[in-house]
């Protein structure tokens, strides 16, 4: 298996402002309420869709061959970006490459999506891995603007992704997010476009407080706002643990089974991020 394919995927760029706010008061240790369980699903969907803006740029920086020298890696990435987004300005200085997408008014597109802002990457080649450090400066798709850093360590079998971001949506709502995840290909022949398997942790702080997520063998495709299989263990701002498992229903819909300790709920999430609670009548 080689974890460095060139990619072409569809990017989901909508950021859901679900407006789900938990009630204040004393912490309840008897389990999550139905409202808290629904809010947790909303948080997961919003996180998945916010990540979409970084995923497509990550794909650009996987267009190289592991084992090459620093300049070879940079030149491969530069050539790929210039072929796919000729409107961008790409410059190399020493071991650093800068991608400038200009402003949204420039209509600079990659993979049929318009971007603005600057992404800088620095490459380090080690004996058995290639490390690419990303810095995002006001990088935006018109819906979400992100600032922050990401370190991706590529090896032949996997990649480790460590991130520290701030996402801001069009309403000015900000979410600070950190993560440390290991990713492997779901289907080698399809590359990243076929999906990845993720293990690790993620945490974010927004208007509702701080959320902490453990990720256990989840299968993710960039076109879906939630995983298609695997398990999430989510700790809410009120220190309640909610477990989510995922099952694909059809090409457009994924079932999210949520266990809040008191009871279990099932929600269907569509590729556009719509969340629908299922009842016995729906089964």
Integer angstrom CA distances of residue 33 from 38, 135, 207, 232, 267: 9, 39, 19, 18, 15
Q: What are the tokens at 166?
A: 């701030």
Phi, psi of 37 (to 5 degrees): -65, -40
Integer angstrom CA distances of residue 185 from 58, 192, 251, 254: 14, 6, 20, 20
Coil, strand or helix at 104: helix
Cβ-contact 156, 66 below 8 angstroms = yes
Which helix H or strand E contains 175, and what residues bound it?
strand 174-185
Phi, psi of 188 (to 5 degrees): -60, -40
Who's near 63: CB < 8 A, 6+ residues apart? 4, 6, 7, 76, 77, 80, 81
Coil, strand or helix at 188: helix
Which helix H or strand E contains 76, and what residues bound it?
helix 70-84
Cβ-contact 218, 246 below 8 angstroms = yes
**155 CA to centre of own chain:** 20
Who's near 157: CB < 8 A, 6+ residues apart? 1, 3, 184
Residue 21's CB: how many other CB atoms inside 10 A?
Answer: 11
Quick one: pLDDT at residue 98? Answer: 95
Quick one: pLDDT at residue 248? Answer: 95
Cβ-contact 266, 278 below 8 angstroms = yes
Phi, psi of 96 (to 5 degrees): -125, 140
Who's near 219: CB < 8 A, 6+ residues apart? 186, 195, 196, 197, 198, 227, 228, 229, 230, 246
Which residue's entry shows tokens 């020298």? 69
pTM (2 decimals)? 0.78
Quick one: pLDDT at residue 29? Answer: 53
Quick one: pLDDT at residue 14? Answer: 33
**pLDDT tens for the 283 residues of the chain, in order:** 444 433 333 323 333 333 333 333 444 456 899 899 989 988 888 887 777 787 777 777 777 767 678 899 899 989 988 888 888 899 999 999 999 999 999 888 887 788 999 999 999 988 888 899 999 999 998 888 999 999 999 887 889 999 999 999 888 999 999 999 999 988 877 777 788 899 999 999 999 999 999 999 999 887 888 899 999 999 999 999 999 999 999 999 999 999 999 899 999 999 888 999 987 655 5
Quick one: pLDDT at residue 8? Answer: 31
Coil, strand or helix at 37: helix
Q: What are the tokens at 79?
A: 């050539």
Quick one: pLDDT at residue 145? Answer: 93
């Amino acid at each position: 298996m080689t974890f460095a394919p060139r990619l072409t995927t569809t990017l989901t760029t909508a950021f859901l402002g679900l407006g789900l706010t938990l009630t204040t008061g004393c912490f309840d240790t008897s389990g999550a309420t139905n409202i808290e369980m629904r809010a947790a699903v909303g948080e997961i969907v919003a996180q998945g869709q916010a990540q979409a803006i970084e995923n497509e740029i990550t794909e650009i920086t996987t267009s190289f061959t592991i084992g090459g020298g620093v300049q070879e890696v940079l030149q491969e990435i530069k050539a790929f970006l210039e072929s796919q987004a000729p409107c961008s300005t790409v410059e190399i200085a020493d071991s650093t490459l800068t991608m400038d997408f200009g402003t949204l008014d420039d209509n600079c597109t990659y993979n049929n999506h318009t971007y603005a802002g600057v992404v800088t990457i620095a490459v380090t080649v080690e004996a058995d891995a290639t490390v690419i450090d990303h810095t995002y400066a006001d990088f935006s798709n018109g819906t979400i603007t992100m600032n922050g850093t990401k370190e991706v360590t590529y090896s032949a079998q996997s990649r480790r992704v460590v991130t520290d971001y701030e996402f801001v949506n069009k309403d000015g709502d900000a979410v600070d997010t950190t993560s440390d995840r290991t990713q492997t290909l779901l289907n080698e022949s399809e590359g990243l476009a076929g999906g990845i398997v993720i293990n690790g942790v993620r945490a974010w702080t927004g208007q509702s407080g701080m959320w902490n997520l453990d990720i256990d063998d989840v299968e993710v495709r960039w076109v879906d706002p939630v995983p298609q299989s695997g398990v999430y263990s989510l700790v809410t701002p009120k220190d309640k643990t909610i477990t989510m498992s995922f099952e694909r229903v059809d090409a457009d819909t994924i079932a999210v089974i949520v266990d809040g300790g008191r009871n279990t709920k099932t929600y269907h999430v569509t590729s556009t991020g719509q969340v629908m609670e299922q009842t016995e009548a729906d089964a």
